Amino acid sequence: MRRAVLAVVGLLSLALLAFATSPGSAADDPRPTVRILYFRAQDDPLDQALLAAFEEGLTDVRLWYGRQVGKTFRFDILIDVVGRKTVAAYCADLGCQPASEWGAAFRAVVAELEERGYVDRSDPHSVYIVAVQTYEISSTMGDPGGPWFSSDGGGVSIVGRQVLLDIAAGCGDDCTVRNRALGMIAHELGHAFNLPHPHEDVYSQGRDPCDEHCSQTVMWAYPAYPAVGLLDTAEHPEKEALRRSPFFSLDVRTVHLEAGWNLVSLPLRPEAAAARSILSSLQEQWDVVYAWNARTSRWLSFFPGRGGTLDRLDETRGFWVHMKREAILSVVGEPAGPVSIPLVAGWNLIGYPADEPLPVAEALASIDGRYDAVYSWAASAGSWRLYIPGLGFSTLQEMTPGRAYWVHATSDAVLTVNEAAFSASP
């Protein structure tokens, strides 16, 4: 059972700070963003397990979109919205359970959120996803903000209580139920991004309701998530539509991790630097992370479920992660640009957030003469690699994005990474 996020509800403490956020504050950010709302009745206490399941589901789906499109969407801090009515009042108005009421429930929730200023369907910079804790609204619904395949904002997607319950229940011996729930989130977000069902788009020209493409896209075959994808054909340009969408502005890069110890860094400037957020794509497959504070000569640590002294991971820092099994670390963020990494005399454990691998001497040109050794750990071989300037032979030939390095500085210095690549850009 996937309890990684549920066990570290502290991840959500930052999100829950948004409870006091005024409704209009999200719109102050002009960058196209998915706004996250969590809706419940007045007398429906916050269910931390379901809230954590929603957060976990969004993280999973965002990475899935990144794998499909090559980019993914930015999302805002979560806002908990306490409704104006009690559970009994909502259920008296909507029936709460019958599938025949799903459209009415969707419209009622969105209407209340619009009236209270949490949703603005005319805002080109916002797409919304709403989790409804209080009741079921026939699972999910998504509504576009503009014509099919446009990049207009304003779309709204809603997931009901059963989806949250299915994610929170985890996998057990079979992930079918959980994956179907995640597929629903991906599907309804697709509608909010203006993707139609494949037989409903303007290009179908009256052909059969579902051709051979339907089984290939989450916009129809969502129960097959995560094995299903998005279409990229002239008739169904789903991927191309999202590549053009201003909402898909964040890069997704991956770092391969072996079972055992790995010495790694982040190849991007992460959108969220909290250690829990960075490690969320690994779920329960890791058991400890260590980083070195060169100024205090102390180790910082972070453990799943209980945190530690290492609260942030950014592109400047190298870190050890111990994996229970082979896995992929997915990092969401933006190209780092020129990065300055302060070094102190002695050993420094640094990241290498460059765009491309470079020979060690070239990568460290900004501190030439102020270091005398560089070590890196090759997890696949289970051995160290060493570079010593002027030696003439080294087992460490180049520095690679996503890997980390021990650099022994002979004096305090500042290493600049990626400067040449960006200064050469038009």
Mean pLDDT value across the chain: 84
| pLDDT, average across residues 253-271 | 94
The lowest-confidence range among 134-148, 297-311, 390-404, 405-419 is 134-148
Which comes out higher in pLDDT, residue 151 or 311?
A: 311
Least confident span in 119-128, 195-204, 317-326? 195-204
What does the pLDDT read at residue 405? Answer: 98
Up-side HSE of residue 88: CA atoms within 13 Å toward CB?
0
Residue 330 confidence (pLDDT) above 50: yes
End-to-end CA distance of the chain: 49
Residue 15 confidence (pLDDT) above 50: no
Label residue 137 by pLDDT band (50, 70, 90): low
Q: What is the pLDDT of residue 424?
A: 37
pLDDT of residue 206: 52
Weakest-pLDDT range from 61-65, 298-302, 305-309, 312-316: 305-309
Residue bearing tokens 């806002």? 79
Q: Pick 366 or 147 by higher pLDDT.
A: 366
| pLDDT for res 7 | 34
pLDDT (mean) for 257-286: 90
Q: pLDDT for 18-67, tens place per residue?
A: 433 446 444 456 789 999 999 999 999 999 999 999 998 998 999 999 99
164's tokens? 């949250």
Percent of the chain with pLDDT over 90: 60
DSSP string covering 298-334: EEEEEETTTEES--B--TTB-EEEEESS-EEEEEEEE
The band of 102, judged by pLDDT with boundaries at 50, 70 and 90, is low
Average pLDDT over residues 242-254: 93
Rounded to an integer, what distance in angstroms lies between the CA atom of residue 211 and that of residue 206? Answer: 11
Q: Which tokens in the block code for residue 140?
A: 């999910």
C-alpha span between 420 and 128 (Å, rounded):
39
pLDDT at 139 over 60: no
Amino acid 208: pLDDT? 53
Kindly state the average pLDDT of the residues 207-215.
72
Tokens, residue 269: 């400037």
Peptide bond into 226 cis (omega under 30): yes
Kindly tell me if the per-residue pLDDT of 11 is higher than 60.
no
Q: pLDDT-derived band of residue 149, with 50, 70 and 90 as boundaries?
A: low
Dist CA 390 CA 319 (whole Å): 27
Q: Could you tell me the pLDDT band of residue 151, with boundaries at 50, 70 and 90?
A: low
Q: What is the pLDDT of residues 178-188, one digit of tens each?
A: 999 999 999 99
Give pLDDT, residue 315: 94
CA atoms within 13 A on the CB side of 187: 26
Give the DSSP letter string of 17-57. GGGG--GGGGGG--S-EEEEEEEE-TTS---HHHHHHHHHH
pLDDT grade for 306, boundaries at 50, 70 and 90:
confident
* % of the chain beyond a pLDDT of 70: 83
3-state secondary structure 282-302: HHHHEEEEEEEECCCCEEEEE
Residue-wise burial string across 381-404, b where 16 or more C-beta atoms lie within 10 A, e elsewhere: eeeebebbeeeeebebebbbbbbb
- The residue assigned the tokens 């799903």 is 102
The model carries a pTM of: 0.80
**For residues 278-297, average pLDDT:** 92
Q: So what's the pLDDT on residue 173?
A: 73
- pLDDT in the model for residue 5: 32
What's the confidence (pLDDT) of residue 231? 93
CA 221 vs. chain centroid, Å, equals: 23
Q: Which domains does the chain have, with CATH numbers?
A: 4-246 (3.40.390.10), 252-423 (no CATH)
**pLDDT value at position 397?**
94
pLDDT value for 9 = 31
Please report the pLDDT score of residue 100 as a whole number.
45
| Beta partners for residue 214, in sequence order | none
